[in-house]
Amino acid sequence: MDSGMISKIQKSIEYAKEPDRVEISALTATFRGNHDTYNLTFANGQWTCECNFFGQRGVCSHTMAIERLLVPMLKVTEPEES
């Protein structure tokens, strides 16, 4: 491995120790639930899921789970009440 690549790897390790350097503004994910597979989207500070429960409540086990996984990097806003 060349020295240029080694320095980039070292830099990436240092960057990873500072998660406040990164703000994710949009993201899509596929979530394999117990009953089906759902597409999740993060945009404008909020998650959406295509499952029926999310459509009824504005939150679901899929969005709550992915928030727990990614909360250090995402700025999630509370859903607006209808």
pLDDT value at residue 60: 96
pLDDT value at residue 14: 94
What's the whole-number average pLDDT of the chain? 87
Q: Which residues of 7-43 are buried (b: 16+ CB within 10 A; e: fewer)?
A: eeeeeeeeeeeeeeeeeeeeeebebeeeeeebebebe
pLDDT at 11 over 80: yes
pLDDT in tens, 16-26: 888 888 887 88
pLDDT in tens, 55-81: 999 999 999 999 888 876 665 555 566
Domain ranges (residues) in the chain: 25-82
